[in-house]
């Protein structure tokens, strides 16, 4: 009688499992000398506290996010979105993009980047924008400041440095609303189409005013506590750990060299990129009279953007994933494209426009 021999196929090791084995070995070594691990964890926790708690809960930044959502929803209820669409339809028709791609940028200028995504993101999708157009919307949104206080402090800095603010504001705040969609349509994101006004839905809700007010307050709190603070914690915990290991200091050194080459004040530029553009502009008011005017301009243009990094790689992907057709990775990539364009704008305006706008 012939016996059957069954062969069981051995499960192959995946690459990530090798990483897991390496982590197991490192964990065993860490148990022998736990000080580095404990130090890195403590450094990460302290960094998260300084940003997520001190900045967003104990400072005006967090409450400004809630107020930004409230103001945005009230303006939407008052017909603001429909009015903007009518204004920009002639321009976007010529460019060949959905007019809704400009709306997040407008909401960003008048309010907050988190409110802009939460409010204008669904509007972009409702308007029938393609995925490429939704990416253009994000890239355009990060071309302007995420706080009105950043803008006002920036104007103070330009005034102190004896710079005519009007041309700078036009070139760096309003022109990108048109220029960025035009450039991206003809390069990275070509799947766009002009949409006539008659084919667009009405964007003004008919919700009772009191319901809008209290609903927006609750929505703003959800954005702050469920999106913004967790995103900031995720990004700055990594930064804190890298800082403890001495790696982040090297990265900061590279960043300082790059900012100096781009005609951006190093001290305020680093604060803009890593922490808070509003704080950076507050610092610049104290030094604007003593540094080269082009660095004041470069710092202002950089601050009037979607920075810091926690917003680009944390808050924007988390918010837009839930209100658009994009994944977190696609939203982060679009934001990165936009912020690179903003850095180039800062250099060009600072280096080549500043001599012509001095008073």
Of 27-41, 162-176, 241-255, highest mean pLDDT = 162-176
The answer to whether residue 43 sits within a structural domain is: no
Whether the predicted pLDDT of 132 surpasses 70: yes
Pick from 289, 290, 270: nearest CA to 280: 270
Mean pLDDT for 209-222 is 84
Give yes or no for a contact between 100 and 129, defined as CB atoms under 8 angstroms apart: yes
Q: Residue 100: helix, strand or coil by DSSP? A: helix
Lowest mean pLDDT among 105-109, 129-133, 273-277: 105-109
The answer to whether residue 76 sits within a structural domain is: yes
Whether the predicted pLDDT of 98 surpasses 90: no
Lowest mean pLDDT among 30-44, 147-161, 257-271: 30-44
What is the reported pTM?
0.74
Of residues 149 and 176, the one with the higher pLDDT is 176
DSSP result, 37-52: HHHHHHHHHHHHIIII
The answer to whether residue 11 sits within a structural domain is: no
Confidence of residue 315 (pLDDT cuts 50, 70, 90): confident
The predicted-structure confidence for 43-80, as pLDDT tens digits, reads as follows: 778 877 776 677 677 766 677 667 767 877 787 788 87
The answer to whether residue 16 sits within a structural domain is: no
Lowest mean pLDDT among 9-18, 188-197, 281-290, 343-352: 9-18
Q: What share of the chain has pLDDT > 90, as a percent?
A: 20
Helices 247-261 and 229-244: angle between axes, nearest 10 degrees:
110
> Quick one: pLDDT at residue 205?
78
Instruction: Report the distance separating Cα 182 and Cα 176, nearest Å.
Output: 9
Instruction: Report the distance separating Cα 157 and Cα 289, nearest Å.
Output: 8
Instruction: Report the distance separating Cα 336 and Cα 349, nearest Å.
Output: 20
The answer to whether residue 39 sits within a structural domain is: no
Instruction: Report the distance separating Cα 262 and Cα 273, nearest Å.
Output: 14
Cα–Cα distance list, 268 to 81, 140, 145, 255, 335 (Å)? 34, 23, 15, 12, 21
Average confidence score pLDDT of the chain: 82
> Quick one: pLDDT at residue 21?
80
The tokens 């008048």 sit on which residue? 110
Count of Cβ atoms closer than 10 Å to residue 23 Cβ: 11
Mean pLDDT for 283-287 is 84
Pick from 209, 212, 213, 239: nearest CA to 308: 239
Q: How many domains does the chain have?
A: 1
Instruction: Report the distance separating Cα 114 and Cα 354, nearest Å.
Output: 31
Instruction: Give start and end residues of each alpha helix (H) in 50-130.
Output: 60-77, 80-95, 103-110, 113-126
> Quick one: pLDDT at residue 297?
94
Domain range for 156 is 60-356
The answer to whether residue 200 sits within a structural domain is: yes
Q: What is the dihedral of CA 213, 218, 144, 99, to 10 degrees?
A: -70
Whether the predicted pLDDT of 2 surpasses 80: no
Lowest mean pLDDT among 72-81, 159-168, 309-318: 72-81
The predicted-structure confidence for 237-258, as pLDDT tens digits, reads as follows: 888 888 888 888 888 788 888 9
Whether the predicted pLDDT of 313 surpasses 60: yes
What Rg value do the Cα atoms of the chain yield, rounded? Answer: 23
The answer to whether residue 69 sits within a structural domain is: yes
Whether the predicted pLDDT of 335 surpasses 80: yes
Give yes or no for a contact between 192 and 151, defined as CB atoms under 8 angstroms apart: no
Report the alpha-carbon angle 143-239-69, nearest 5. 40
> Quick one: pLDDT at residue 167?
92
Whether the predicted pLDDT of 334 surpasses 60: yes
Cα–Cα distance list, 304 to 91, 173, 282, 285 (Å)? 23, 8, 13, 15
Dihedral sign, Cα of residue 345, residue 140, residue 66, residue 52: negative
Give yes or no for a contact between 140 and 176, defined as CB atoms under 8 angstroms apart: yes
The answer to whether residue 65 sits within a structural domain is: yes
């Amino acid at each position: 009688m012939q016996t059957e021999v069954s062969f069981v196929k051995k499960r192959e090791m995946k690459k990530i499992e090798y990483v897991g084995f390496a982590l197991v070995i490192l964990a065993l070594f860490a148990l022998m000398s736990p000080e580095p691990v404990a130090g890195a964890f403590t450094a990460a926790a302290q960094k998260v506290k300084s940003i997520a708690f001190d900045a967003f809960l104990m400072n005006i930044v967090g409450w400004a996010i809630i107020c930004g959502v409230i103001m945005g929803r009230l303006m939407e209820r008052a017909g603001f979105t429909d009015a903007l669409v009518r204004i920009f339809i002639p321009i976007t028709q010529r460019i060949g993009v959905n007019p809704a791609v400009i709306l997040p940028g407008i909401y960003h200028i008048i309010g907050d980047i988190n409110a802009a995504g939460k409010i204008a993101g669904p509007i972009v999708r409702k308007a029938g924008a393609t995925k490429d157009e939704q990416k253009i919307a994000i890239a355009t949104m990060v071309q302007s400041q995420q706080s009105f206080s950043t803008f006002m402090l920036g104007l103070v800095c330009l005034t102190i440095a004896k710079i005519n603010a009007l041309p700078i504001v036009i070139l760096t705040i309003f022109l990108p609303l048109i220029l960025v969609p035009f450039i991206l349509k003809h390069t990275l994101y070509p799947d766009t189409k002009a949409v006539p006004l008659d084919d667009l839905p009405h964007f003004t809700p008919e919700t009772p005013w009191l319901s809008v007010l209290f609903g927006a307050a609750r929505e703003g709190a959800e954005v702050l506590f469920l999106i913004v603070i967790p995103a900031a914690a995720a990004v700055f915990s990594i930064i804190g750990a890298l800082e403890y290991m001495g790696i982040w200091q090297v990265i900061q050194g590279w960043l300082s060299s790059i900012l100096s080459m781009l005609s951006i004040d190093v001290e305020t530029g680093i604060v803009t990129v890593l922490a808070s553009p509003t704080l950076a502009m507050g610092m610049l008011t104290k030094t604007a009279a003593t540094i080269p005017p082009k660095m004041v301009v470069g710092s202002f243009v950089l601050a009037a953007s979607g920075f810091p990094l926690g917003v680009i790689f944390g808050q924007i992907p988390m918010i837009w994933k839930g209100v658009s057709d994009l994944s977190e990775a696609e939203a982060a990539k679009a934001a990165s494209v936009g912020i690179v364009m903003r850095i180039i704008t800062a250099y060009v305006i600072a280096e080549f426009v500043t001599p012509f706008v001095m008073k």
